[in-house]
Structure 1
Amino acid sequence: MGLVSDGLDRATQRAFTRPIPKSAGAQMRYLVKQLKGTRPVAALLGVSQRTVERYVKDQIRRPRADLAQRLADAVRARWQPRVREQARRQAATSTGLVIETRARFGFTAAPGTSDDARVRHLTIALPPAYAARLFDAQQAGASEQQLREITAEGLGEMYFRDAGRRAPGLAVEFTDVEHVDFDL
């Protein structure tokens, strides 16, 4: 995936009301129930169907580190879909998103201004319209570059143009992203 997409996923995962199952057996049983069989779970995790069956029966209790990570990620991606959707809907209609990022920002402005790109650490509240655009684009399968463009547009509007109160027509460049984190 990418930085922005993963950041949006982490933000919705913070809305969970219950933690994911802890043991490997409980995680496997959850996936078997969700995917309706051991064969799809085995294909998803890259293990044999028999291995999945052994985890379900608690004959194997401790997975290898790489399998444990893939297993936890697969469960987390499917955990509490209604809670996740409700959090997205609320952010897109009323609360918006808070974005924290460290990236290089540059912009195009009138001659003689300080438009040189520099690394900035920003924490900005984005309005619900940008949250809706980001979540809709992510659901539609937008590329990481498209998600970054929407994020740059939102940051440009709220930080550099101050919601339309200054610097009209300023075009913001959002590059060399070191980290992005969202909060609902």
Structure 2
Amino acid sequence: MVESIGDSLDRALESAFTRRPPQSAQAQMKYLVKQLKGTRAVAQALGISQRTVERYVKGQLKRPRQDLRGRMEREVKKRWQPQVRAKAKQKAASTDGLIVSTRARFGFTAAPGTTDDARIRDITQALPPQFADRLFTAKEHGATEQQLQQIAAEGLAQMYFRANNTRAHGLGVEFTDVEHIDIEL
């Protein structure tokens, strides 16, 4: 399974949590009912019946199927500690930036007569706050994975390949075939 930049951004924000999210199915369901203000909304969000939600809340059901367990965990984490998540985004976008570790195919376009064929590279690079801001803003506004990759490629091109624009001016970088990507705050 190829990892997405959007998922990696979510995991990076989860690392800022100060408390663990609810672990049991009953606690997760109670949390979702409280956040979504009712069992009907939770049932729609999870793709299950309202009665099933009620049975988890009462503790009559305890072990969800694996696919439902995954959906419940994702929905809880999406809503868990919104202020902590917002502070982490703000700090990354204003002062700290991000660290991107990736294994992907990088190719280049440069001045006529020079070329470098695309090849798989392992790169770990700190990106400045403006790229963190662009990535989080784009994700919030529903950017596609391709658009997020383009922003990450611009950041890696500037910081890694052009050494913060001190060399290799005009070098265009293509970022494709992402095998692995991990983003940290």
User: What TM-score does the superposition give when structure 1 sets the normalisation length?
Assistant: 0.97
Question: What secondary structure, in the 3-state scheme, does the structure 2 residue paired with 1:115 have?
Answer: strand
Distance 2:128 2:11 in 1: 19
Q: In the alignment, which residue of structure 2 is the partner of 1:128?
A: 129
Aligned positions, number:
183
Q: In the alignment, which residue of structure 2 is the partner of 1:115?
A: 116
Q: In the alignment, which residue of structure 1 is the partner of 2:172?
A: 171
Gaps of 5+ in 2: none
Instruction: Give the drift of 1:111.
Output: 4.0
Distance 2:179 2:120 in 1: 9
Question: What secondary structure, in the 3-state scheme, does the structure 2 residue paired with 1:164 have?
Answer: coil
Distance 1:45 1:3 in 2: 22
RMSD: 1.0
Q: In the alignment, which residue of structure 2 is the partner of 1:150?
A: 151
Q: In the alignment, which residue of structure 2 is the partner of 1:80?
A: 81
Gaps of 5+ in 1: none
Distance 2:89 2:76 in 1: 19
Distance 2:66 2:138 in 1: 33
Give the 5 Å matches for 1:1-184.
Answer: 3-184=4-185
- Report which stretch shifted further, 149-158 or 59-68: 59-68
8 Å contact from structure 2 (residues 109, 115) kept in 1: no
Question: What secondary structure, in the 3-state scheme, does the structure 2 residue paired with 1:56 have?
Answer: helix
Instruction: Give the drift of 1:144.
Output: 1.0
- Report which stretch shifted further, 25-34 or 108-117: 108-117
Instruction: Give the drift of 1:41.
Output: 0.3
Matching residue's letter, 2:46: L
8 Å contact from structure 2 (residues 92, 129) kept in 1: yes
8 Å contact from structure 2 (residues 161, 168) kept in 1: yes
Question: What secondary structure, in the 3-state scheme, does the structure 2 residue paired with 1:178 have?
Answer: strand
Instruction: Give the drift of 1:47.
Output: 1.1
Once the two structures are superposed, residues 4-26 of structure 1 have per-residue CA deviations (whole angstroms, 9 ceiling, x without a partner) of 11111111111111111111000
Distance 1:40 1:122 in 2: 42
Aligned-residue identity in percent: 63
Question: What secondary structure, in the 3-state scheme, does the structure 1 residue paired with 2:136 have?
Answer: helix
8 Å contact from structure 2 (residues 26, 59) kept in 1: yes
Instruction: Give the drift of 1:110.
Output: 2.6
Distance 2:161 2:61 in 1: 55
Instruction: Give the drift of 1:114.
Output: 4.7
- Report which stretch shifted further, 72-81 or 27-36: 72-81
Matching residue's letter, 2:98: L
Distance 1:74 1:129 in 2: 29
8 Å contact from structure 2 (residues 39, 54) kept in 1: yes
